[in-house]
Amino acid sequence: MNPLKHLGALAFLLFWLLAVTGVVLYVVLDTSAQGAYRSIDELSREPWSFGSALRGLHRYGADAFVFVSLAHLAREWLLGRYSNFRRFSWLTGVPLLPLAFVCGIGGFWLNWDRLGQFSAIATAEWLDALPFLASPLARNFLSGAVNDRLFSLFVFVHLGVPLLLVFGLWFHIQRISRAEVFPPRALALGTAAALLALALALPIRSQGPADLAAVPGTLAIDWFLLFIHPLTGATSAGFVWALLAATIIGLFALPFLRPRAVQPVAQVDPGNCSGCGRCADDCPYGAVTMVPHPNGRPGALLASVRADLCASCAICVGACPSSTPFRKAEPLVTGIDMPQWPIDDLRRRLLDGLAAMNTEQRLVVFGCDHGARVRAAAGPDVLPFSLVCAGMLPPSFVEYALRAGADGVLITGCRDGGCEFRLGQRWTAQRLLGQREPHLRSTVSAERWNTVWADGGDEAAVRTALDSLRRRAGPALPSATLEARA
Ligand code: HEM
């Protein structure tokens, strides 16, 4: 339920809320220059009415959309999620912000009250600062009244730009498999309820009809959407243009300025790939596709990895049925593997590590590099493994570890919704619960394994889960057995 982990999905929700309330507003409002003010004023004059709620939802929804989108950008930036395989999402995200602002600012003009008048003229004057406009746009406002043609342009800006946004949003999530475009239901309902409460408690009121013969005096500004006008007033149009250009160029340049160290990408072994497609299904970034197998057998498929999309998360390794450690193969070569952390290495280290342990109880922890630090949480009776992502773990490794002498196995990774690679935690949980292939066999005693989803810094949660596993795993084995194992 942490909204910070669902900012993209919340922005989507707000966008659709704006679209729905916008369509209803469009149906009930008069969108001519003469009738606009009266119709919207009448609609929202009654507090606690449907019209008031509708207008408030639309306005506060617009503020929230911009705020949440900015927070989404800030979060991705702070987490360093803008380069390499995320470059496409970042670059397609940048244009969405100016579009959102254009759309939001244009909405104020449609009310055609004093605030709309102020914003329309301030925008025209700001655009006039550009050297290439033949005649000043602000001149349109000198004639004493705005004509219907100009008002149609306002309508176009406010309706046309959202269509561009729809296209932009679709593009933005193109390279993300199963993008989360709807937040958890409780969060969605809570957000909608909060906006509705705000709309009813603090209804949006028009600020008097536009009058081009007068300069609006005191205005209640919407600081989220209209901050650009006071900023231009306090500085200059040229300064704000330069600031905007620098911000946009900076955002576009960011992924190229500080690309992260490139990790080796997943590699397919045609001899061990059965063509089942589970890796393609589970890949969070659509980097794996199935292509005809070069052996030419009719219907035979082979996984193929697009290096520029691969996040090196190894979730595909956990999805591959050939990754099971029970195979006799020496070394264990699977259908798809990470050169920097081969599955054979994991099996070998597991066996060697268990054999070297001399404690009464022996526990194994499979964790991930981005969640709670398993090595920090582990005691002498624990054999810790920090994988690239919890999703790298083939579930059969749990049973294998138990059969190889472990008394209990703990699987940990980033908290739900916080997986560094988006889907690793979800797939791991589902595979362990038998809801996704490949799954952990139900014959494995549930007393002897456990999961805990904990972010970095929450090592205490791992320690608590280990304590509980120690108790559940039962009394320690006789020391004769332990000596035999050693
Ligand atoms: C304007 C509205 C925006 C919406 C509605 C939106 C929505 C989304 C959604 C739904 C996802 C997928 C989240 C997931 O399933 O994990 C996503 C991912 C992403 N977005 Fe946005 N986004 C917006 C703007 C932006 C902006 C302005 C940027 C940055 C310039 C940005 C950067 C990213 C990045 C880098 C990812 C990939 C995250 C990852 O791979 O883990 N987005 N966005």
311 pocket-lining for ligand 1 (C-beta < 6 Å): no
CB 314 within 8 A of CB 307: no
Chain centroid to Cα 10, Å, comes to 9
Closest-CA residue, ligand 1 atom 26, reads 93
179 pocket-lining for ligand 1 (C-beta < 6 Å): yes
Q: Which parts of 85-222 fold into alpha helices (H)?
A: 87-93, 96-111, 114-128, 148-172, 185-201
**CB 442: neighbour CB atoms within 10 A?**
8
DSSP structure string for 326-356: TS--SS---SEE-TTS-HHHHHHHHHHHHHH
Find residue 383's DSSP bridge partners: 364
* Tokens standing for residue 146: 């705005």
Which pLDDT tens digits describe the chain residue by residue (486 residues)? Answer: 889 999 999 999 999 999 999 999 999 888 888 889 999 998 888 888 999 999 999 999 999 999 999 999 999 999 999 998 999 999 999 999 999 999 999 999 999 999 999 999 999 999 999 987 777 787 777 766 677 888 888 888 899 999 999 999 999 999 999 999 999 999 999 999 999 999 999 999 999 898 888 888 889 999 999 999 999 999 999 999 999 999 999 999 999 997 667 789 999 999 999 999 999 999 999 999 999 998 888 889 999 999 999 999 999 999 999 999 999 888 999 999 999 999 999 999 999 999 999 999 999 999 999 999 998 888 899 999 999 999 999 999 999 999 999 999 999 999 988 899 999 999 999 999 999 999 999 999 999 999 999 999 999 999 999 999 999 876 555 444 544 544
87 pocket-lining for ligand 1 (C-beta < 6 Å): no
99 pocket-lining for ligand 1 (C-beta < 6 Å): no
Q: Residue 41: left (phi > 0), alpha (psi -120 to 50), or beta?
A: alpha
Q: How far apart are CA 64 and CA 239, in angstroms?
A: 27
pLDDT tens-digit series, residues 149-179? 888 888 888 999 999 999 999 999 999 999 9
* Tokens standing for residue 55: 């207008």
168 pocket-lining for ligand 1 (C-beta < 6 Å): no
CB 122 within 8 A of CB 230: no
* Ligand 1 probe mutation, 76, 86, 92, most atoms within 8 A of CB: 76
Query: Distance from the CA of 172 to the center of ligand 1, in angstroms?
Result: 7
Longest CA–CA span in the chain (Å) reads 100
As a dihedral over the C-alpha atoms of residue 87, residue 89, residue 90, residue 95, rounded to 10 degrees, the angle is 130
Q: What is the pTM of this model?
A: 0.90
5 pocket-lining for ligand 1 (C-beta < 6 Å): no
CB 287 within 8 A of CB 306: yes
Exposed/middle/buried for 19, CB within 10 Å: 0-12, 13-18, 19+?
middle
